[in-house]
Structure formats: structure tokens, C-alpha cells
Amino acid sequence: MGRLFGTDGVRGVANEGLTAELALGLSVAAAHVLGDAGAFEGHRPVAVVGRDPRASGEFLEAAVIAGLASAGVDVLRVGVLPTPAVAYLTGALGADFGVMLSASHNAMPDNGIKFLARGGHKLDDAVEDAIEEHYQRYGVGGDEDWKRPTGASVGRVRQYTEGFDKYVAHLVAVLPNRLDGVRVVIDGAHGAAARVAPEAFARAGAEVVYTLGAEPNGLNINDGVGSTHLDKLQAAMKEHRADLGVALDGDADRCLAADADGNEVDGDQIIAVLAVAMKEAGTLRGNTAVATVMSNLGFKLAMEREGIDLVQTAVGDRYVLEEMKHHGFALGGEQSGHVILLDHATTGDGTLTGLMLGARLAATKQSLADLAAVMTRLPQVLINVKGVDRTRAAGCVELDAAVAAAEAELGATGRVLLRPSGTEPLVRVMVEAADEVQAKEIAERLAEAVRTHLG
């Protein structure tokens, strides 16, 4: 069996790769690893369980809850809420761990299971490995059995209905100022924050002039809406003459934005705007922002110009978070819109990110376009090469040679990044250059090399 956990939990096509049996077995394993199984006799562990609106989440949630309760874990079922809400509630309620069922921005047939440690934090690799090992030993088809609680020792399941209000109240309470006078369009991606985000913005004082992606039916999550499909939000911004457009993804752990003219404001620009605001407020700990190697070179130049230090990590918000926690930094994120505000959240929170942008607009009385102009994006071309064996990308001599040739051609005016996806069966090719035509030509050449050598 290959490693089950990717860069963001366990994902797969629901009821195909990600089955009810797998969900149940992993939950039992997580209960024993995260719930202090050795101390079950003196401690009843508690888990918070939430999901996004995918239809498959209904049966997977049932399997997860069954596994946890069968292992002696009491379950607080919070229903459809964003990933950052489940993380927040895990910490706020003093639960031993949390479980979120979502495949984030992936299409509806996919789903995923993400476990959160005590306090609502992501698991490190060693803990994930321990859960996998336990699953392989004691799970469905495993070689060993485990001691099952009976009678009053089995876990109890309770619907926790206060989660929505508790989370929204938290979001509004941490804002530096109200959003009065800011007109907002929100795209909830027919996802987990379809109700949360409009409510939070309204309570914070913004005028929510239009919503889209706000009617989840279990089948339409991310379907032509959300942070991976900005065209509808961009059109709505111009139609409704709004100040801020916010686009979330399926589990609302990321946020992209649009200005009054419908222009995209990506994660790099959002982090740049917030970094400047936090520096002014004295809350940018270490005078440092954390980003990944995928960040636009223009972002790095902007941080240098603003006198803000930049630390770059490997791709993946988990690596950004690890760096932030290790050094005590307060702000980090990815170009894709995962923005982590560690003083207020343990993971990326799209709704919180959008609210902080709105607060900056309200405080400065500037437009989002003017605020985002703190950085200039250099041309960057990203090609997702599908239908290839991503596992062979590392160490492929032919690809290494192709990348080296491209880097020599670009010199100091650009850069190349070739990376297998951690959550999808594809390889990402990114090329950045001062000239867009050159960037596109080199990216297409490298994409063809990936197809040739990894096909």
C-alpha cells in the first residue's frame, strides 16, 4: 500500500478510492493515535466532526462517526462548516482532535478526510504515519484485532448546533475594525461557507450586495464557481459596483479576491496588502511574511521595497504553517489563496482573509486596486500536465536537463519550478519571466517534456 496521506489529508474519488470501509478504519486508527488510546479507561476522548456539502460526505461522515464511537470517542457533530471552523471549534471546545470531510477545491466526485490534532492544528508527517501503521495492522483486512469498548464505554454522538454562531462570532471579534461602508460580493463555491461568509460579513458591518455559489445541493460544489472559477465573480463586481469581491473554495480554507473593475487579486497580492497593514499596526511579528517558492517574483520585490522580510518554503500551506509556528511569525500563505493569520486561526481561513481585506478597505478608504498595487505581478505561466506518472518526476534525468536548459535561457530574469501535485494526479510546470511570450513558450516546452518522459 502506498502512503494514504497526501499534502492535505487522505483524498480520492468517493466510494471508489475513498470508501466507507477506509473512512471507518482510518477513524478507528486516528482514535487510538490522537485520542490517547492507552488512557481510555481514565479519559473519554472527544472529537469534532464536520464536512462540506458534498453528497458523499453524508455516508463518509456516518462511517467516520461510527469508527470513532466504536473506539470509545465521544463525537460532536457540527455538520456543514468550513475546515477553519472545525479547526477553531476543536481548539475552542477543548476537543482531543477534529475530523473534516472535504476535498477542498476538487470536483464533486472527490472527497477527503483531514484529521486535526488537539488545538485544531494540522498533523505532522510522523503522526500521519502512525495512523497509517495502526490502520494497516488493525483496520479492515488487517492482521490484528483491537480491544473494543462495550456497554457504557462506547462513544456517544451529539449534534453540536452552536458551532455556526460560535465561529462567526469569533471571526467578527478578531477584526481590527468594522467594515461599514464596504460593498461586497461573495462567491461561496456552493461549499462549506455558503452560509457562513455572508453572515460574517453582514455582522461585521459590510453591505453584501450579491452572493453567488450560495445554494449548495450536494452536487454543485466548485461547479463553475469559487476560487477556481473567478469569471462570474468578476462580472458581478462590475454589475453591482461593489468594492470587494471574495471567492472561496469548497471548504473555505482559501480566498481569492476581485477589485471594483473585476480584476483578480491573488494570494500574493492579498498577503502583500495584509503584511503592510500588519506592519503599520505592529502585529507583523518578526517583521516577516512567509510564502512558498510559487510566489510571484513581484511579491518578493514588493516585500523588499516595504522593508518586510520574506521567508519562502516548499509548496503547500502545511510547510508555510510549520515555518510560522517554528519562528512565531503571524502571517503567511500561498498564491492560491491559502492565507494563514496565526494570531486568529490555526489554518488557512478564506472567510477571515476576506474580512481582513474588507477591514483594510474600510480603515484606509482606499480601493482594493490601489491597495493591491503595492506589488506588480511579473508574467507567470502555470501548466498542469495531467495523465502522467507524477511519482517519477523526481530524479528523471531528461526532465532535469530540460529544466536546466530553461533556467539557463532565462538567466536572472525569471525562474522555473516543476512540481508533482500532492493532491491530484498531475505535474505542475511554472515559468516566470519578464516577458509573457517567453514564459509561455518555455512552459509549453517543459510541459511537453513532462508528457514525453512521464507519460
Active site (catalytic) residues: 104
| One-letter amino acid of 68 | L
96 is in an annotated binding site: no
Closest CA to 281 of 343, 336, 333: 343
70 is in an annotated binding site: no
* Residue 387, C-alpha cell as written in the block: 495523465
251 is in an annotated binding site: yes
* Residue 274, C-alpha cell as written in the block: 495584509
367 is in an annotated binding site: no
CB-CB contact of 441 with 381 (8 Å): no
How far apart, in whole angstroms, are the C-alpha atoms of residue 357 and residue 347?
17
Phi–psi pair at 210, nearest 5 degrees: -165, 145
How far apart, in whole angstroms, are the C-alpha atoms of residue 439 and residue 125?
35
Tell which phi-psi region holds residue 38, choosing left (phi > 0), alpha (psi between -120 and 50) or beta: alpha
Q: CB-side exposure of 309: number of CA atoms within 13 Å?
A: 9
Give residues with Cβ within 8 angstroms of 204, minimum separation 6: 171, 172, 175, 178, 179, 355, 358, 359
How far apart, in whole angstroms, are the C-alpha atoms of residue 20 and residue 65?
11
The binding site comprises 104, 249, 251, 253
| Residues annotated within a binding site for Mg(2+) | 104, 249, 251, 253
